[in-house]
Amino acid sequence: MWFLIVLLVIILIIAFKSIKVVRQSEVYIIERLGKFHKVADAGLTIIVPFFDHVRSVVSLKQQTMDIPPQGVITKDNVTITIDTVVFYQITDPAKAVYEIQSLKKGIEYLAITTIRDIVGKMDLDATFSSRDGINSELRVILDEATDRWGCKIDRVEIKDITPPADIRDAMEKQMNAERNKRALILEAEAQKQSAVTIAEGKKQAAILEAEADREAKIRRAAGDAQAIKAVAEAKAKEIAMVYDAIKSADPDEKLVQIKSLEALEEIAKGDANKVFIPFEATSALSSLGAAKEIFTENDKSSKK
């Protein structure tokens, strides 16, 4: 009875040591008599008790590693503190176990030295404006170095760059000065744009006013021309009527000249009329002037 119980316990112990269940996204590194035997994937795995044992359980998931903040000296001799995180994944579990004593320590030390080398070649301002470049260069270098360890570096991100307190104060003052400068520039541009807009408005208003004045003058001149034309036509009709009346009465030359002068007098009464006196009319006017002088001298003689 006791023998059966002991035998059953031994069988259970052997079964417990022989049967291994590997979880998803994990692998077991199996050694036989101290030598690498196989990599057990997810699922049920049978090993030989007392001969085989599990050396290591390796996760195939993407893992993260926080690199402790490191003081780094830039090219312009400013000490800054850089906080970095590395995303990596094991692609060859056997190499990750046998090619390096501690994969995490190797990645950490390699990341620290690489960061110091990259940032040491850059100025302070470049470190703030070139984070993506630093991340990409750091990832490529780490990926090449860790490939023989069965590891792939997926991403490297700089979480924070902290300059010294005095540098931060100087940077804040510089940023304030830049903001004030941009504000003044924007204000000046706004005033300039406002002045240009006002000037353009005045220019357009002056142009419209000049065009309106010119149009009014043109219309006024056209109206005056129409009025002069109407007056001239009326006077021409009047002269024609006088001429017809004189002609029907069979007048002598003197009467014709006197009637012509009366017609000219009526025409000249217009404000905008310009009268051109024919040569024959001037002869009549000179005759009338001479007659007037004779009558004037006769009056003076009679008075004496």
Residue 45: CB atoms within 10 Å: 19
44 shares a domain with 71: no
pLDDT at 152: 93
Residue 67 CB-density burial (10 A; 0-12 exposed, 13-18 middle, 19+ buried): buried
The proportion of the chain whose per-residue pLDDT surpasses 70, expressed as a percent, equals: 77
114-131 residue pLDDT tens: 999 988 888 888 888 888
Q: In total, how many domains does the chain have?
A: 3
71 shares a domain with 52: no
pLDDT > 70? residue 293: no
Calculate the average pLDDT of the chain: 78
| DSSP state string for the chain | -HHHHHHHHHHHHHHHHHEEEEPTTEEEEEEETTEEEEEE-SEEEE--TTTEEEEEEEE-S-EEEEEEEEEEE-TTS-EEEEEEEEEEEES-HHHHHHS-S-HHHHHHHHHHHHHHHHHTTS-HHHHHH-HHHHHHHHHHHHHHHHGGGTEEEEEEEEEEEE--HHHHHHHHHHHHHHHHHHHHHHHHHHHHHHHHHHHHHHHHHHHHHHHHHHHHHHHHHHHHHHHHHHHHHHHHHHHHHHHHHHHHT---HHHHHHHHHHHHHHHHTSSS------HHHHHHHHHHHHHHHHHHHHHHHHH-
pLDDT > 60? residue 206: yes
250 shares a domain with 279: yes
77-110 residue pLDDT tens: 888 889 999 999 999 999 999 988 889 999 999 9
pLDDT at 178: 79
Residues counted in the chain:
304
159 shares a domain with 84: yes
152 shares a domain with 84: yes
Domain encompassing residue 246: 239-303
pLDDT > 70? residue 275: no
pTM of the predicted model as reported, rounded to 2 decimal places: 0.54
| Residue 272: inside a domain | yes
40 shares a domain with 107: no
135 shares a domain with 105: yes
CATH number of 143's domain: 3.30.479.30
95 shares a domain with 9: no
283 shares a domain with 248: yes
| Residue 225: inside a domain | no
| Residue 219: inside a domain | no
**265 near 288, Cβ under 8 Å?**
no
pLDDT > 50? residue 165: yes
Residue with tokens 């009526």: 266
